[in-house]
Amino acid sequence: MEHGSTTTGGKGSLERYRQMEAIMTQHEAALLRYANRIVGDAHLAQDVVQNAFVKLFAGWKDGTRPSDKLKTWLYRVTHNEAVDLIRRESRLQVLHQAHAEEKAAACPDGQHCAANGNEQFETVLRHLRRLEPLERQVLLLRLEEGLSYAEIAAVTGRTTGNIGCVLHNAVTKLSKILAK
């Protein structure tokens, strides 16, 4: 269960390789998307997802096959890896942030700036990042990843009802901020 997998018995390592390939292909896009949202950097997201997969396959013997918990397990590990990474790099992130703000300040007229077309979306994302980590996690998992409440509950280790509450709070908070 722990790796979202069950062991059945030995087969060739080619089989294992094929499985790994399949699992990666199936989940990598979603995990990268998710990790990218958390760490905010495509390269770091690659690191995160790579680590998550390494963790998965380190315990993946021949004959292991994915169980239905694999998806939520991967999201959970990816999330933790991402949070670890952020914590590790928090100082650097602060630098990044300062850099980004400098950049934003550099185009006061709001024109000739790279992200000008997506101003509104950028605003939404900025507010999204302001949410509580759990709220953000739930919001992303639901709205972007399309996980069901039960799956989100499995990822976050909370109850399904609580997820509904958290999501509603997050949305209400966002709509209040955005309506200002």
Partner 1 sequence: MKCENIRLLLTSYLTGEHDPALKKTVDEHLETCCDCRASLQKIRSTLDLVQGALAATQKAPSRLAPDRRLRVLSTRPAAPVSWLTRHRPMVSRIAAVLVAGVVVISLVSWQLDKVTRESLEQFGGAPPSTARLLWETICGRGNMFKLSDMVGGASAPASASFYEPKPVVGDEMSVSGTPAGWQHGEPLLDQQSSSVSQPATIEGRSYATTPETAAGRKRAGSRSSPLQEILPQGDKGEVREEPLARAESIDNLEMPADPAASPGFGGGTAGFGIGSGSGDEEPGFEMSPVKSPLVMHGLYASRRAGGSVTTGRPEAGRDSDVGMGDDIDEKTETHDDETVAAATIAPAPANEVNVTGIMTDESERSDKYQERSWGLDAGGSSVPAKAKPKAAAPTRLTARTEAPEKSMSELATQIEDGREPGAAVAPKPVEPDARILGGKEEDNSRVDSVAAVGYNSPINRDGVPVLGAIPALGRLFREDRAVSTTEDAEGGERRHTAALAGVSTHSKELREGKKAPSDWISGELDQVVTLSGKDITYEEDADSRSSPLQAQDASAANGGRSYSTPAEKAAGETKSGSRTSDKRGWPGNTKIPYRPINASGRVPTSEPEPAGPVFKAVGMNPFVITRTNQFSTFGMDVDTASYTLARNYMLKGFLPPAESVRTEEFVNFFDYTYKPPTDKLFAIYADCAPTPFARGLHLLKIGVEGKRLARDAKKRAVLTCVIDTSGSMSEPDRLPLIRRSLNLLIDQLDPADSIAIVQYDSHARLVLDQTPIAQKKAILAALDSLQTSGSTNLEEGMREGYKLAARRFVPGAVNRVLLLSDGAANLGSVEASQILTAVESFRKQGVYCSVFGFGIGTYNDEILKALASKGDGTYAFIDSMEEAKRVFVEKLTGTLNVIAADAKIQVEFNPDRVKRHRQLGYEERQLRKEQFRDDTVDAGEVGAGQSVTALYELELDGPRDGKIGTVRVRYKNTGTGKVEEFERAITQADICHTFEATDSRFKLAAGVAEFAEILRGSDYAGGIRYSDVAAVLRPVALELNLDFRLQELVRMVQGASSMPRAPAK
Considering only residues 103 through 142, tell me which ones interact with partner 1, judged by CB under 8 A.
Answer: 104, 118-130, 132-134, 137, 139-140, 142
Estimate to the nearest angstrom the gap between the alpha carbon of 52 and the chain centroid. 11
The mark string for 70-109 relative to partner 1 (x by CB under 8 A, - otherwise) is ---x--xx-xx--xx-xxxxxxxxx-xx---x--x-----
- 165: alpha, beta or left, given left = phi > 0 and alpha = psi -120 to 50? alpha
Q: Indicate which single residue of 6, 42, 99, 159 sits in contact with partner 1 (rule: CB under 8 A).
A: 42
Tell me whether residue 75 is exposed, middle or buried, using C-beta atoms within 10 angstroms of its C-beta: 0 to 12, 13 to 18, 19 or more.
buried
**Residue 20 engages partner 1 in binding (rule: CB under 8 A):** yes
Q: Indicate which single residue of 12, 45, 68, 78 sits in contact with partner 1 (rule: CB under 8 A).
A: 45
Q: Indicate which single residue of 11, 50, 65, 162 sits in contact with partner 1 (rule: CB under 8 A).
A: 50
Size of the site for partner 1 (CB under 8 A): 87
Interacting residues with partner 1 between 138 and 177 (CB under 8 A): 139-140, 142-144, 148-149, 155-157, 164-165, 167-168, 171-172, 174-175
In whole angstroms, how far apart are CA 8 and each of 65, 171, 174? 7, 43, 47
Query: How many secondary structure helices (H) and strands (E) does the chain include?
Result: 8, 2
Q: What share of the chain is helix, strand, coil (3-state, %, to 5)?
A: 75, 5, 20
How many angstroms separate the CA atoms of 41 and 86, rounded?
A: 11
The distance of closest approach from Cβ of residue 88 to partner 1 in the complex, given in angstroms and rounded to an integer, is: 5
Nearest to partner 1 of 12, 59 (CB atom): 59
